[in-house]
Amino acid sequence: MTDKRSILITGCSTGIGYAAAHILKDRGWQVFPTCRKPEDVTRLRDEGFDAFQLDYCDSESIQCALESVLAITDGRLDALYNNGAYGLPGAVEDLPVEALRRQFETNLFGWHDLTRRIIPIMRKQGHGRIVQCSSILGLVAMDYRGAYNATKFALEGLTDTMRLELYGSGIQVSLIEPGPIQSEFSKTAVKMFYEEIGEDAKNKSHFRESYTRRLSMLSKGGTTKFKLPPDAVVKKLIHAIEAPTDKARYYVTVPTYIMGALRRILPTFMVDMILRRSAKSEE
pLDDT given for residue 226 in this prediction: 87
Smallest CA-to-CA distance from 73 within 30, 103, 41, 110 is with 30
- The single-letter DSSP state of residue 35 is E
pLDDT given for residue 277 in this prediction: 86
Residue 148 bears catalytic tag:
yes
148, 211, 250, 251: the catalytic one is 148
In CATH, the number for domain 6-180+227-276 is 3.40.50.720
For the residues 35-47, what does the mean pLDDT come to?
Answer: 98
Is 82 in contact with 114 (CB distance < 8 Å)?
Answer: yes
Rounded Cα distance between 223 and 181, Å, is: 10
Is 225 in contact with 146 (CB distance < 8 Å)?
Answer: no
Q: How far is CA 9 from CA 48, 131, 187, in A?
A: 15, 10, 22
AA letter at 262: L
Quote the Cα angle for 18-21-22, to 5°.
Answer: 90
Alpha helices, DSSP H, located in the chain: 15-26, 38-46, 59-73, 97-104, 110-125, 146-165, 185-196, 198-204, 208-219, 231-242, 254-265, 268-281
Domain range annotation of the chain? 6-180+227-276
Rounded Cα distance between 227 and 22, Å, is: 21
User: Over the stretch 182-235, which tens digit does the pLDDT of each residue have?
Assistant: 998 999 999 999 999 999 999 999 999 999 998 998 988 877 778 999 999 999
Is 55 in contact with 36 (CB distance < 8 Å)?
Answer: yes
User: Over the stretch 53-104, which tens digit does the pLDDT of each residue have?
Assistant: 999 999 999 999 999 999 999 999 999 999 999 999 999 999 999 999 999 9
